[in-house]
């Protein structure tokens, strides 16, 4: 049995690395700003490595900075892994990703204390830049591991705020450019389990405690650039403008309503305009587009409709027109988890709570498990999020739910290992 | 008679301080990025001061960094001034403001060479931060001179990209925080004349060469902040969002169509979003709003209608709503120039070209002359802008039109002085 108090204490202790955005008087009432590969990410990584070594684990760091802490089993072979991520959003909370790694640490501590032998090795993993907040590709490092994107492309990916800072330069700067190949073939896993907060309102609204995750929705990210002509705000008639700001506003309104009509989601989180002067019509605006749907076909329809509608928007009727450029940043197809892992999660859940307290659920967010599931059997456990809120400093899950989730994680891993 | 070749040569020579955005192969085929109080602004100021001293002028610098170069007349008394500005937009051209100061320099050189005595002193002025691009208040320093805004507020105004850099700190850094009071009472002028490019298409479309400016349109600047709730792009249903980005897009579309319906103008040149992550709905977006109309009442109607319509837009129907905050940055009422100055400009123009080559015109842009006109008789001369383009690196006026404008400026000053 895991130690729920220790789990929650450890989670909040390590949140000292990167705590930010205080919203209440208690010491734990802050959010987090621990962006991938920053100094505070290095601090929590160092803590994780030291902690796992103290439990007798072998620790490997791969070329994307993913950290694998491996506890030997009775037999050699690819480990059954418990993984998630320690990086956060710029205005993130204390649970997204962090709970998954802390639950893996707690599971390892429990195995260690009980002297429990597993058939095969068990691993705890911290995956690099799951959020995609600093380097704009979510699950960046688990995507490389899964062979979805190349190591070169991932290494070259720059900080969203500074072209000159790349993933590789930051991995090197903080000392986490390891030499183990980042590859499911060269550094394989037997299976991957992950506990995560739901980040949405479904479990809370149904008063249920454990989500047995069946898969994840499809999503795509783009960087949209609209170019027009900079000219004077006071002397340029409305009919003689190629205004990329106004075109972008039409784009965002249209994209949102198209996604909504299809039952999907649309978000524009980043936006910049050049040259940035009150009385100059911009010559270029750039913004991110994140579209999602549970079905691949519907997502494709949303994208096609936005492309068609916005191609019309650029037609200013004036001799100078705006031009829209779509740069794909990321694409994650709809994911279906492995039936053996889903069964292990279900059995583990039912060992801890009544069936009515559980539900099968599709993840709205991407997770490292979406990447691992392309290569090895994968399963996930969700626990409720207060107000369905995530990517927000006030993100919250109860200590009891965190402890329950960690227990289900360990039980699912042991069940899978024993089969 | 002024020397048109020398005027144009000097203009392009001094554009070496701050040249940027090459658009053609010739040495003069670049735009400018000489933002107020930057190092390149200091360079051109130093050049202006040295040049005016070499012509025997007394040079005074006031507490806003405005530079007054004064050539003595037969009598003591407030000088008849020729003023404009040497700062530019970030993607500005070689004529906006610059031509006005260079024409004043050429007029001074002409007076000097001919030994011409004027009844009263004559001044050439460089006004600080006319553009409002770096510090977001246009005609910032001529507004202080006119008593429209306080010296304290103007000194405290920060760089649009960096809160910690203020107008005062930059004046001090480049050595242009002078000790002459910035005040029309303590440092008076007799009159103010300014030649400027039209920056719009009216003269060019009418094939006319000289605009006799009757006044300027009204305009207002605001910084709009919309606050919502940051949450997850993948797990937050469209109906459970308070998305300030989407609200801002609706705002911009609505404001543009309202301004258009009234025959006015609307521009959003600056836009930032926080925290700036692809998969997080922003918690705050901030953007500039510039609205204009030739009539004060119509401008007020545009503002009122935008306020009313956008107050509706924030009603998400969800328990969390967006909040819009309007921070006024600047307001410039419609301006009517002094009949004596308008007459002097007309007479000077008709001394150089046929009546059919001139027209009376209202300025779409604000100018330092709009501020001086509140305190002393003021007049302006416009020359055509190619394609009506300004606040753009390709801004262009012919050498012939620049020379003609400078001649009209000098003639108007001499006419006014002799009355
Ligand atoms: N779980 C999570 O927040 N992942 C980030 C990737 C996404 O945008 O869905
Ligand atoms: N002339 C000019 O570009 N002035 C800047 C002030 C304005 O925005 O009109």
Distance CA A43, CA B383 (A): 63
Q: What is the pLDDT of residue B218?
A: 98
**How close, in Å, is residue B92 to chain A by CA atoms?**
9
Among B89, B365, B395, which residue has the most ligand 2 atoms within 8 Å of its CB, making it the best to mutate? B365
Please write the tens of the pLDDT for every residue from A268-277: 999 999 999 9
Q: What is the pLDDT of residue A255?
A: 98
Q: Considering CB atoms only, which of A233, A275, A285 is closest to B91?
A: A275
Identify the three-state secondary structure at position A103.
helix
Contacts of residue A312, Cβ cutoff 8 Å, sequence gap at least 6 = none
CB A380, CB A198: distance < 8 Å:
no
Please write the tens of the pLDDT for every residue from A99-137: 999 999 999 999 999 999 999 999 999 999 999 999 999
Cis peptide preceding B275, ω within 30 of 0: yes
Q: What is the mean pLDDT of residues B334-350?
A: 98
Beta-ladder partners of A227 = A284, A323
DSSP code at position B138: T
Q: Which ligand is nearest to the CA of A365?
A: 1
Whole-model pTM?
0.93
Task: Count other C-beta atoms under 10 Å from residue B280's C-beta.
Answer: 29
- B279 ligand 1 Cβ < 6 A: yes
A271 and B285 within 8 Å at the Cβ level: the answer is: yes
Please write the tens of the pLDDT for every residue from B176-226: 999 999 999 999 999 999 999 999 999 999 999 999 999 999 999 999 999
Q: Considering CB atoms only, which of A160, A231, A236 is closest to B276?
A: A160
Contacts of residue A243, Cβ cutoff 8 Å, sequence gap at least 6 = A228, A281, A282, A316, A322, B267
pLDDT at A98 over 80: yes
pLDDT at A349 over 90: yes
Percent of chain A with pLDDT over 70: 100
Beta-ladder partners of A232 = A280
Ligand 2 centroid from CA B131, angstroms: 5
- A138 ligand 1 Cβ < 6 A: yes
Residue A33 pLDDT level (bands cut at 50, 70, 90): very high
Distance CA B191, CA B379 (A): 8
pLDDT at A315 over 90: no
pLDDT at B10 over 90: yes
Q: Considering CB atoms only, which of A235, A276, A390 is closest to B160?
A: A276
Q: What is the mean pLDDT of residues B242-258?
A: 97
B280 and A89 within 8 Å at the Cβ level: the answer is: yes
A232 and B390 within 8 Å at the Cβ level: the answer is: yes
Residue B4 pLDDT level (bands cut at 50, 70, 90): very high
In the numeric block, which tokens belong to residue B341?
């100055």
Distance CA A371, CA A331 (A): 11
Please write the tens of the pLDDT for every residue from B73-86: 999 999 999 999 99
Q: Considering CB atoms only, which of A271, A279, A392 is closest to B138?
A: A279
For residue B139, the ligand 2 atom closest to its alpha carbon is 6
Q: What is the pLDDT of residue A317?
A: 79
**How close, in Å, is residue B136 to chain A by CA atoms?**
7
Q: Which residues of B touch A237 (CB under 8 A)?
A: 200-201, 265
Q: What is the pLDDT of residue B317?
A: 79
Q: What are phi and psi of A265, to 5 degrees?
A: -125, 150
Please write the tens of the pLDDT for every residue from B278-326: 999 999 999 999 999 999 999 999 999 999 999 998 887 788 899 999 9
Among B230, B232, B275, which residue has the most ligand 1 atoms within 8 Å of its CB, making it the best to mutate? B232
Q: Which residues of B touch A283 (CB under 8 A)?
A: 91, 392
Among A234, A278, A281, which residue has the most ligand 2 atoms within 8 Å of its CB, making it the best to mutate? A234
- A367 ligand 1 Cβ < 6 A: yes
Helix axis angle, A98-114 relative to A39-54, nearest 10°?
10
Ligand 2 centroid from CA B405, angstroms: 19
The full DSSP string for A156-174 is HPEETTEEEEEHHHHHHHT
Beta-ladder partners of B162 = B159
| Best CA proximity match to B223, nearest among B155, B276, B269 | B269
- The number of angstroms, rounded, from the C-alpha of B245 to the middle of its chain's C-alpha atoms is 30
């Amino acid at each position: 049995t895991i130690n729920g108090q220790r789990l929650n204490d450890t989670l909040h202790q390590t949140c000292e690395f990167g705590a930010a955005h205080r919203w209440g008087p208690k010491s734990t009432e802050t959010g987090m700003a621990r962006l991938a590969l920053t100094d505070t990410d290095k601090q929590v990584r160092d803590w994780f490595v030291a902690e796992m070594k103290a439990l007798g684990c072998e620790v490997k760091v791969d070329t994307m900075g993913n950290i694998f802490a491996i506890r030997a089993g009775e037999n050699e072979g690819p480990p059954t892994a418990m993984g998630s991520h320690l990086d956060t959003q710029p205005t993130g909370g204390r649970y997204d990703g962090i709970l998954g790694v802390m639950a893996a640490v707690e599971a390892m501590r429990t195995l260690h204390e009980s002297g429990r032998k597993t058939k095969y090795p068990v691993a705890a993993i911290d995956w690099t830049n799951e959020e995609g907040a600093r380097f704009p590709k979510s699950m960046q490092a688990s995507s490389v591991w899964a062979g979805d994107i190349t190591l070169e492309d991932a290494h070259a990916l720059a900080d969203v705020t500074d072209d000159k800072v790349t993933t590789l330069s930051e991995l090197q700067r903080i000392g986490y450019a390891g030499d183990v190949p980042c590859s499911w073939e060269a550094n394989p896993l037997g299976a991957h389990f992950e506990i995560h907060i739901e980040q949405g309102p479904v479990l809370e609204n149904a008063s249920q405690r454990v989500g047995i995750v069946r898969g994840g929705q499809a999503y795509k990210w783009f960087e949209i650039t609209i170019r027009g002509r900079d000219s004077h705000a006071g002397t340029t008639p409305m009919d003689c403008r190629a205004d990329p700001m106004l075109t972008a506003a039409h784009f965002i309104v249209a994209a949102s309503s198209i996604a909504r009509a299809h039952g999907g989601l649309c978000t524009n989180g980043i936006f910049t305009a050049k040259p940035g002067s009150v009385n100059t019509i911009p010559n270029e605006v750039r913004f991110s587009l994140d579209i999602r749907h549970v079905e691949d076909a519907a997502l494709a329809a949303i994208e096609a409709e936005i492309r068609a509608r916005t191609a019309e928007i650029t037609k200013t009727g004036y001799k100078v027109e705006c031009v829209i450029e779509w740069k794909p940043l990321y694409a994650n197809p709809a994911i279906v988890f492995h039936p053996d892992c889903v069964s292990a999660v279900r059995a583990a859940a039912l060992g801890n709570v009544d069936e009515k307290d559980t539900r099968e659920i599709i993840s709205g967010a991407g997770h490292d498990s979406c990447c691992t599931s392309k290569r090895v059997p994968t399963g996930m456990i969700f626990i409720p999020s207060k107000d369905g809120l995530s990517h927000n400093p006030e993100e919250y899950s109860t200590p009891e739910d965190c402890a329950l989730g960690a227990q289900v994680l360990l039980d699912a891993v042991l069940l899978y290992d024993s089969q």
